[in-house]
């Protein structure tokens, strides 16, 4: 396993560089024009920024952990300093190691600094499986907005034991701009990657999405005005030779919700688009994929 991890880590910079060449970073254009001092200036709306990022380094996680890079502050510094990732109101992370080392502590501290020392609220749900070196992977949601409620949703197909984290945030103030409820529901998920040695399990992922849709519809019936966001690692590897072709679960979700990225953007070093943000009752102002070298995934950013 160490040898495999080392080979993967030697290849990863090349794959990441190739993917970074394809990733289009959608930078907002600076505003132009002069303000008239005698006229009242309308308050500036700061976009509600949501970031989704799987921080685990694929098969290289063992060496990554042995070297300490998975727990190091480098990732946290990049999240805090990168212009496109600055001050997210929701940071949805997948496969965070919550049982070994201070990785989660670093990430919470990075969010706290990004928001000027404000209190950061966190919730997590483990995938229910132990990796080597006693690492329990979890979906983690961080926000400066108070958490009203949260819970763990375990997907069917328990041989893999993937889980989703649902979190309700109190967004009083922001909601007034959207003319919506005072809460937002965040689904942070990590879908099945393989069944046994088979990675082409498109139908299995759609089965998991259907199960979570039932949970979502029950919530929506009770809270019809609440905006809902689905984010995470969807492992949408439906066509390895043609990565721009969307698999069934992504096509169905794109019919129900608004994807932040409407055209192909690779979010993985192998040029696959596996990480997504979908929204119900919200329309993205802009969205992008950002290259960071700490994982085989790249962060997806959406402003609302």
Paired tokens of 269: 């070093």
Q: Residue 1: pLDDT above 50?
A: no
Q: For 208-234, how does the pLDDT look when each residue is reduced to its tens digit (9 = 90+)?
A: 999 999 999 999 999 999 999 999 999
pLDDT tens-digit readout, 156-203: 865 567 899 999 999 998 877 787 789 999 999 999 887 655 555 888
Q: pLDDT, tens digit, for every residue of 77-109?
A: 777 778 888 899 999 999 988 876 677 888 898
Contact call for residues 113 and 80 (beta carbons, < 8 A): yes
Q: Is the pLDDT of residue 127 over 90?
A: no
Higher confidence at residue 52 or residue 70?
Answer: 52
- Within the chain, how many helices (H) and strands (E) appear? 7, 12
Residue 239: pLDDT band (50, 70, 90) is confident
Question: pLDDT tens, 48-61?
Answer: 999 999 988 765 55
Query: Which strands form 90-97's sheet, in the order they lie side by side?
Result: 121-131, 135-143, 90-97, 49-54, 300-303, 286-289
Residues 6+ apart with CB under 8 A from 90: 48, 49, 50, 51, 141, 142, 143, 169, 184, 186, 229, 231
The CATH number fitting domain 47-303, selected from 3.60.10.10, 1.20.1250.20, 3.60.9.10, 3.30.420.40: 3.60.10.10
In the predicted structure, residue 18 carries a pLDDT above the cut 60: no
Whether the pLDDT of residue 256 is over 60: the answer is: yes
Mean pLDDT of 9-38: 46
């Amino acid at each position: 396993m160490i040898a495999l991890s080392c080979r993967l880590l030697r290849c990863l910079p090349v794959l990441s560089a190739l993917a970074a060449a394809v990733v289009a970073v959608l930078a907002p254009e600076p505003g132009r024009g002069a303000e008239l001092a005698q006229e009242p200036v309308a308050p500036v709306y700061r976009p509600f920024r949501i970031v989704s990022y799987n921080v685990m380094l694929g098969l290289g996680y063992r060496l990554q952990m042995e070297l300490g890079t998975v727990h190091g502050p480098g990732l946290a510094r990049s999240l805090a300093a990168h212009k496109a990732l600055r001050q997210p109101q929701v940071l949805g992370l997948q496969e965070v190691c919550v049982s070994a080392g201070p990785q989660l502590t670093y990430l919470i501290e990075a969010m706290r600094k990004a928001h000027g020392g404000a209190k950061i609220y966190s919730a997590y749900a483990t995938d229910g499986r132990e990796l080597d070196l006693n690492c329990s992977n979890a979906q983690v949601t961080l926000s400066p907005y108070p958490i009203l409620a949260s819970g763990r949703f375990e997907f069917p197909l328990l041989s893999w034991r993937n889980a989703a984290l649902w979190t309700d945030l109190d967004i009083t103030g922001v909601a007034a701009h959207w003319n919506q409820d005072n809460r937002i529901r965040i689904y942070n998920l990590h879908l099945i990657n393989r069944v046994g040695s088979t990675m082409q399990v498109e139908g299995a992922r759609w089965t998991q999405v259907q199960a979570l849709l039932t949970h979502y519809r029950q919530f929506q019936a009770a809270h019809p005005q609440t905006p809902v966001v689905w984010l995470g690692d969807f492992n949408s590897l439906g066509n390895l030779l043609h990565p721009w072709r969307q698999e069934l679960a992504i096509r169905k979700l794109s019919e129900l919700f608004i994807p932040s990225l409407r055209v192909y953007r690779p979010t993985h070093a192998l040029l696959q688009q596996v990480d997504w943000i979908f929204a119900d009752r919200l329309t993205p102002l802009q969205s992008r994929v950002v290259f960071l070298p700490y994982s085989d995934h790249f962060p997806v950013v959406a402003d609302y």
